[in-house]
Amino acid sequence: MTGERHAFEYAVLRVVPRVDRGETMNAGILLYCRPLKYLGARVFLDAARLRALDPSADVAGIERALHAAADVCGPDAPPGPLGLEDIGRRFRWLTAPRSAVVQPGPVHTGLTRDPDAEAQHLLELLVLPAAPGQQPENPTGDPVSGTDPADSP
C-alpha cells in the first residue's frame, strides 16, 4: 500500500497466569490509528507455552478474555457503555493498567500506511512463535521504530 504514513499507537496484550510470580507471555496486539479511524486487535494464545508457565492455567477462560478485548476493537463492539464509546476511548480503556490475568503492556507509537497490515506484522513480530531456526526480525528489542512493513526490501 502506498501513500501518506500515519501515526498509530499499539500495545501488546500480555497473559500473566500467576500475578504473584510476574511471569508474562505476549498473546495479542491492540492497534489504534486515529487519522484513519482504525482500532484493531489480533490475538493468539500459545496454550503449550501458557501451561509451561502455569500447568493449572484456565486456558479457555484466558482465550475468552483475549477474544473479548478483540471484540471491543471491532466495528460491531458488544452492547453496553463501552461499545457506545468512540474508538479512541475504547483503546484507552483497553490499555489502562490493571491487575488481571490479561494485561496490556505499555503503549508504543509508530507510523504506517496500512494499520490492518501493521497489526498483523506486530502480531507476527511480537506474539507468534518463531519458526524453528528462525532469527527474530529485530534482535535489538525495538519492535517498531517507525517502521512500516511496506517499507521492507
The pLDDT tens digits of the residues spanning 26-63 come to 999 999 999 999 999 999 999 999 999 999 999 999 99
Residues in the chain: 153
> For residue 111, which phi and psi values (nearest 5 degrees)?
-125, 140
Flag whether pLDDT at 142 surpasses 70. no
Q: Which three cell numbers stand for residue 34?
A: 486515529
The CA-to-CA distance between both ends of the chain, in Å, stands at 14
Confidence (pLDDT) at 15: 97
pLDDT band of 136, cuts 50, 70, 90? low
Q: Which amino acid is at 70?
A: A
